[in-house]
Chain A
């Protein structure tokens, strides 16, 4: 199925180039390691062949958009921003719309090429299923994943290898794509936020202990921030030096201050793409903390991020009837 979608995707991109409707497209190409793809910038029809599609196309490519449209103020008048095609799963497309809503991109300069997403593989689940055997290669076909190891091939059920975030995804595809690649997307999940719910059931002390333990692993590489399309601040509060908000040492309060800042800035903005979760080189359980934001914002204010480019972001509205329970009874 991936092959057919890949062919359709390349045809769609080729016709966008032919019609002169895009200057470049951001997509996925084959990676250098098994179970990996990576972002690629295609500016020329000759490179369309590099584009791939499959359950390893994990990166949320919307992260690259703000910088394509950011430029020095003194150049604003003469700067001609490109028109960019972007290959987007449901979550990626919602990131794009969220960025438009936050005035980081002109909507008319982005062509969303929407993919019918069937979920992405979590390589850690594959590793666990192989009991430590080396993964030399992998291919996906008709609902199964065949992994090549030194001891021979092993076929796994693709559904069991999908990332937790994908299993709980409520929006595998969106309506507002400019070019919709036809295919059958995953059904929206019924059971959502199971781990967040379990976290909420813990006592305050237990939650604090879990948060402390997880965050103490942080090495401040800021990969979680850098891969997040929402983290487009010109200077992150964590990088400000006058004043410094966060100490230079590895003290737990400093690490926590960064993560609390990053996570709370996602309220009403996080599209649950799990880019931060995948990027963390220390495997910190960022999902359970970060997804508390979209869960609460939807439950308390009925707002879901990235569903349209119009309207007012949740953080920019206030009514006197707003639920404030999250402050006193988190």
Chain B
């Protein structure tokens, strides 16, 4: 596969060239941290960041979208998005999450045309991690700081330069198109790259998840869930920041005779998520809801699509207001 280097000062040039054919998004300084934002001529790229606060899944599966609208009793589906998009700077964990979401939204039985269109229209360039956050645990769930799953191109940060490596044909085409801006990498660059990734891996604290799926299958009624539920305050931080959580609700809203059918994210942490019209709630305790989130990621998806639905990005670990740490839960149930 094609490879090439670019001086970081020329990265803006490369993305500007890409912007001529597609909308481009990249890491831009936000009031707090860095966010993945559509680039304009004035955007200043920020390459020194851990990860985006919000998962890039939202570029494919927005927090809410109108999927149909109309009036007088008829609804018309929203046209499929056609815009070509280049996303630069996803971390490898988040790119891997898209491969997992594909198993849900691209399943032929329940194909999601909006998600599919966006996936097909988008080229993903990841930026490998040199310095993972203490809450990260990607290597424990099959990923890695330089992993290529979900990426079309992987970029390695060598200091003053970026080393690009194409992973897919889409990535190959992208690098070929911008070949004029790239130089050939040397053996020393490869050595540097391998050292960076090995150093990054060494900084990660491993979490043992071997056998967790099997153990969880027998722990549905275990007391551990109510212990977690007692501490859990029932907000949606973990689910809404999670790159693999994908549950949503459908709502019809009417104003002045115009109806919109809206698909909006939902979270299994909320009682309303499972509240039935009768008033009965099959997940009546916060413990039952906390169990659902762990089971869904580490047991049900393993049975249903053969994958653990966690990429170890650490967002839920870092941002839970009561410090519920999924790594500890996995250690506890796996022990």
Contact = CB atoms under 8 A, between A and B. Distances in A.
A33 B327 CA distance: 12
Interface stretch (B7-15, B171-179, B236-244): B236-244
Nearest to A37: B323
Contacts of B271: 239
A34 B135 CA distance: 10
Interface string B123-141: 0000000010111000000
A112 to B, nearest CB: 20
Interface in A36-68: 36-41, 59, 63-64
B318 interface: yes
Given A223-B235, A250-B63, A32 B323 contact: yes
A221 B240 contact: yes
B2 interface: no
Q: How large is the interface on A (under 10, 10 to 19, 20 to 34, 35 or more residues)?
A: 35 or more
Nearest to B58: A219
A281 B317 CA distance: 12
Nearest to B255: A247
A221 B326 CA distance: 18
Interface residues of B, number: 43
B327 A249 contact: no
B271 to A, nearest CB: 8
B267 interface: yes
B268 to A, nearest CB: 13
A223 B236 contact: yes
A146 interface: no
Given A59-B321, A247-B253, A283-B31, A136 B134 contact: yes
B52 to A, nearest CB: 12
A81 B323 CA distance: 27
B205 to A, nearest CB: 10
B54 A38 contact: no
Interface in A90-125: 124
Nearest to A239: B272
A226 B64 contact: no
B323 A31 contact: yes
A249 B262 contact: yes
Contact of A221 (B237, B251, B253): B237
Given A33-B318, A38-B323, A248-B64, 16 more contacts: A32-B325, A32-B327, A32-B328, A41-B230, A59-B321, A64-B230, A134-B131, A219-B63, A247-B251, A248-B249, A249-B64, A249-B262, A250-B63, A279-B235, A281-B240, A281-B241
